């Protein structure tokens, strides 16, 4: 299909259920994306859901306005497994015969989208930040080179599979409503089940500190591990304060490079901090509404990872730290140990 036939594009959203049977925020954001695109192209869209039991998820989005609902529901599709996930996605695609397939860029989806696109002789784009359509052109944007270049992509080939990164669209909300979904499959062929999922392991201490959906990002810098005014390191107090704040606030935890590269002396006290927590040029650029930096200097290679954080505050003893130079909305020149202990006390109330 070429761009001249754009008005004939058929849009399909594919989503997987979460462990509790519902759809994730990322999938609801992708739903908004599909719905918006359908509206701008004056067309309809279909939704396909796969998982162990899709009933709850389908009901959750039952009033989203989709023209058609498709379902791959069964025990074989409970866990993320390439063969069964790609079987489900391919089945939904073939049933819907869509030309534009949108999915949330979750790790589960990103793993299968390129393979399925290849199998059905389509093309794929991952890490998409927006999709826009007009009567003459469909474009997808994505960031490259650590958010320094924004690419605007158009493709003539169809089907076009697009994995949309979380944080770019508002999650769809609406009332639950019962829907009648067309069942595409309830089990996968034996050949798809040679790999067995035996369990899930999280990196680090086992405590889940990275929460992309949290409103607040708390960043802990190397200052927490440094000698304080009394000439000693307060590693255990720092651990208690940081973890206490995380559990009370539900914030996601980020770290500076200096913090995640800790020496062995401090490693045990801060074992909840891994390289996955690193924010910055060689780390990640998360998307949270608010950010609170503590004991971190706010140097450019770190602060560059804050580009998508909307409201920024920092606590640092140094009035000349990087945050003071236009990188934070509010800088508290104060002892983070004292400030965060007080904050935890207030949160406990
Ligand atoms: C190519 C390159 C890529 C890099 N990529 C990254 C990256 O992705 N992410 C990253 O983080 N860094 C990155 N860096 C490193 C970066 O330049 C800094 O070295 C690093 O961010 C410093 O970490 P920090 O601010 O936690 O530690 P420090 O520079 O040691 O700062 C600690 C801060 O804590 C404050 N402090 C101490 N005690 C207290 C207290 N009680 N209360 C309040 N404040 C206190 C101090 O005043 C100080 O400002 C990169 C560097 C290079 C060259």
CATH number at residue 286: 3.40.50.1220
What is the strand order of the sheet 100-104 is part of? 149-153, 138-144, 123-133, 160-164, 100-104, 11-16, 45-51, 68-73, 182-185
- Answer whether 104 contacts ligand 1 (Cβ < 6 A): no
Task: Flag whether 77 is in a domain.
Answer: yes
- Answer whether 281 contacts ligand 1 (Cβ < 6 A): yes
Record the tokens describing residue 197, joined without a space: 């999922």
CA atoms in the 13 A half-sphere facing the CB of 324: 11
Residues 185 and 303 in one domain: no
Task: Flag whether 201 is in a domain.
Answer: no
- Residue 216's pLDDT is what? 97
Residues 233 and 164 in one domain: no
- Answer whether 299 contacts ligand 1 (Cβ < 6 A): yes
- Answer whether 203 contacts ligand 1 (Cβ < 6 A): no
Task: Flag whether 208 is in a domain.
Answer: no
Max Cα distance, the chain (Å) = 72
Task: Flag whether 22 is in a domain.
Answer: yes
Which atom in ligand 1 lies closest to the alpha carbon of residue 300? 17
- Answer whether 46 contacts ligand 1 (Cβ < 6 A): no
- Answer whether 315 contacts ligand 1 (Cβ < 6 A): yes
**Residue from 146, 147, 218, 221 to probe ligand 1 pocket by mutation (most atoms less than 8 Å from CB):** 221
Q: From ligand 1's centre to the CA of 283, what distance in Å?
A: 13
Residues 171 and 235 in one domain: no
Q: From ligand 1's centre to the CA of 287, what distance in Å?
A: 20
Residues 288 and 161 in one domain: no
Between CA 9 and CA 143 the distance in angstroms is 25
- Answer whether 261 contacts ligand 1 (Cβ < 6 A): no
Residues 58 and 12 in one domain: yes
Residues 182 and 295 in one domain: no
Between CA 118 and CA 108 the distance in angstroms is 17
- Residue 13's pLDDT is what? 98
- Answer whether 320 contacts ligand 1 (Cβ < 6 A): no
Q: Tell me the CA distances in angstroms from 144 to 67, 70, 129, 161, 308, one per residue in order.
A: 34, 34, 11, 18, 15
- Residue 1's pLDDT is what? 42
Residues 185 and 222 in one domain: no
Helix (H, G, I), strand (E, B) or coil at 228: coil
Task: Flag whether 46 is in a domain.
Answer: yes
Q: The tokens 């796969």 sit on which residue?
A: 50
- Residue 208's pLDDT is what? 79
Residues 174 and 243 in one domain: no
Residues 226 and 183 in one domain: no
How many structural domains comprise the chain? 2
Task: Flag whether 304 is in a domain.
Answer: yes
- Answer whether 256 contacts ligand 1 (Cβ < 6 A): yes
Residues 54 and 173 in one domain: yes
Domain final residue, candidates 193, 225, 252: 193
Residues 106 and 246 in one domain: no
* Ligand 1 atom 22 nearest Cα: 258
Which atom in ligand 1 lies closest to the alpha carbon of residue 298? 25
Per DSSP, the residues of 94-111 read HHHT-SEEEEE--HHHHH
Q: From ligand 1's centre to the CA of 258, what distance in Å?
A: 6
Helix (H, G, I), strand (E, B) or coil at 195: coil
Q: What is the pLDDT of residues 176-226, one digit of tens each?
A: 999 999 999 999 999 999 999 898 776 554 467 899 889 999 999 999 999
Residues 139 and 19 in one domain: yes
Q: From ligand 1's centre to the CA of 120, what distance in Å?
A: 47
Task: Flag whether 57 is in a domain.
Answer: yes
Number of Cβ within 10 Å of residue 230's Cβ equals 7
Mean per-residue pLDDT pooled into runs of 10, the chain (349 residues): 57 97 96 97 96 98 98 97 98 97 96 98 97 91 85 96 95 97 98 92 66 93 96 96 96 96 82 93 93 98 95 98 96 98 96
Task: Judge contact between 72 and 185, C-beta under 8 A.
Answer: yes
CATH number at residue 81: 3.40.50.620
- Give the helix/strand (H/E) hosting 164: strand 160-164
Task: Flag whether 109 is in a domain.
Answer: yes
Task: Judge contact between 249 and 288, C-beta under 8 A.
Answer: no
* Ligand 1 atom 41 nearest Cα: 335
Domain final residue, candidates 159, 193, 227: 193
Between CA 104 and CA 24 the distance in angstroms is 9
Which atom in ligand 1 lies closest to the alpha carbon of residue 279? 9
Domain that holds residue 155: 3-193
**Residue from 256, 263, 333 to probe ligand 1 pocket by mutation (most atoms less than 8 Å from CB):** 256
């Amino acid at each position: 299909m070429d761009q001249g036939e754009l008005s004939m594009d058929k849009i399909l959203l594919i989503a997987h259920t979460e462990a509790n049977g519902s759809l994730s925020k990322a999938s609801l954001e992708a739903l908004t994306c599909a719905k918006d695109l359908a509206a701008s192209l004056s067309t309809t869209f279909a939704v396909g859901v796969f998982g162990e039991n899709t009933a709850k998820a389908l009901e959750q989005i039952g009033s989203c306005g989709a023209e058609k609902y498709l379902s791959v529901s069964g025990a074989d599709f409970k866990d993320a497994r390439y063969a069964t996930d790609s079987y489900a996605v391919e089945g939904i695609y073939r049933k819907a015969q869509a030309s534009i397939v949108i999915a949330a860029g979750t790790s589960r989806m990103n793993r299968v989208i390129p393979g399925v696109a290849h199998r059905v002789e389509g093309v794929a784009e991952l890490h998409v930040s927006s999709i826009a359509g007009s009567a003459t052109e469909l474009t997808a944007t994505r960031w490259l080179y650590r958010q320094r270049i924004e690419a605007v992509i158009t493709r003539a080939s169809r089907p076009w599979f697009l994995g949309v990164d979380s944080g770019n669209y508002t999650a769809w909300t609406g009332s639950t409503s019962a829907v009648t979904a067309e069942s595409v499959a309830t089990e996968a062929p034996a050949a798809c089940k040679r790999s067995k999922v035996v369990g899930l392991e999280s990196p680090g201490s086992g405590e889940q500190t990275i929460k992309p959906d949290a409103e607040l990002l708390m960043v802990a810098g190397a200052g927490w591990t440094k000698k304080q005014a009394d000439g000693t390191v307060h590693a255990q107090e720092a651990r208690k304060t940081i973890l206490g704040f995380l559990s009370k606030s539900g914030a996601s935890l980020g770290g500076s490079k200096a913090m995640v590269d800790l020496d062995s002396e401090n490693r045990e006290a801060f074992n909840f901090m891994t390289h996955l927590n690193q924010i910055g040029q060689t780390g990640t650029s998360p998307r949270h509404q608010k950010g609170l930096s503590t004991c971190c200097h706010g140097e450019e290679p770190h602060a560059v990872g804050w580009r998508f954080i909307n409201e920024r505050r920092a606590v640092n003893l140094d009035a000349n730290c990087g945050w003071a130079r236009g990188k934070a909305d509010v800088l508290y020149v104060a002892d983070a140990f004292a400030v965060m202990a007080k904050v935890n006390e207030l949160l406990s109330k």
